[in-house]
Amino acid sequence: MPPDIWIEIFAFLLCLIQFRKIKASILKWFLPFLLLTNIVEWGNYFKWYNYHHTNNWIFNIFNPIEFCFYGFLYYQTLLSKSGRNNVFYCCLFILITYLVNILFIQGFLYFDSYSYLVGCLVMVYFSYLYFVEKIKSVEQINITKTPLFWISVGLLFFYSGEFILFSFFQYFLSINDFESFLPVFHFFSAILNAILYLCISISFFYTPKQPSIS
């Protein structure tokens, strides 16, 4: 069984354990989100979602939900109105991209890799917005003790790596040699998942300060 699946359920269980501490903050939404993540990933592993010999459709539903969930976190946490507006329009753009791709380009049963690449870039951009805002902030805080720092670090590493991996996805499919790419894909994907869910797990040990939004 892939180790990254166990890391995901570990993050969910840790969120459940820490829930009393984080339930008054925005981190509480990680509980249903991580539950959904585990349902999707475990169902994928046990082939619960196979339809016409593929489970790609479940990720074409889950991935835009995942992107918008992280967008929601940044929208609620960023202090600047321009930053929050950028997050909102980026999430809207992701949803439109998936809709167009499903209806007219790659379809519903085929993994919508083009839309996923767009989502990866947007997640990196969200992390950038957060770090720039913290660098420019006059407030003297230890940034490593804020939950969104660890979440942003995880997202930055994960989606930067995923963008590189999935940039080769369509190429290897087009030359009918995807099997040779799979070992590399699974190896680096497991590492990226470990980094992301470890960072998310660390974030549950810190209670976020409620922002004074301007």
192-210 tens-digit pLDDT: 999 999 999 999 998 766 5
Predicted confidence (pLDDT) per residue in 155-192, tens digit: 999 999 999 999 988 788 778 887 888 899 889 999 99
Predicted confidence (pLDDT) per residue in 62-108, tens digit: 999 999 999 999 999 999 999 999 999 999 999 999 999 999 999 99
Give the three-state DSSP class for 51. strand
At residue 138, does pLDDT exceed 70? no
d(Cα 14, Cα 76) in Å, to the nearest integer? 23
d(Cα 38, Cα 40) in Å, to the nearest integer? 5
At residue 35, does pLDDT exceed 90? yes
Whole-number CA gyration radius for the chain: 18
Contact residues for 150 (Cβ-Cβ < 8 A; gap 6+): 144, 199, 200, 202, 203, 206
**Structure tokens, 28:** 């509480």
Mean pLDDT on 118-135: 96
Least confident span in 47-61, 109-123, 146-160, 200-214:
200-214
Which pLDDT does position 19 carry in this prediction?
Answer: 96
Which pLDDT does position 173 carry in this prediction?
Answer: 78
At residue 114, does pLDDT exceed 80? yes
Q: If you average pLDDT over every residue of the chain, what do you get? A: 92
Which pLDDT does position 176 carry in this prediction?
Answer: 80
pTM: 0.93
Residue scoring higher pLDDT (125 or 143): 125
Which pLDDT does position 81 carry in this prediction?
Answer: 95
Which pLDDT does position 213 carry in this prediction?
Answer: 41
Q: How far is CA 15 from CA 37, 115, 118, 150, in A?
A: 13, 29, 29, 14
Which pLDDT does position 140 carry in this prediction?
Answer: 67
Q: How far is CA 86 from CA 90, 122, 135, in A?
A: 6, 10, 18
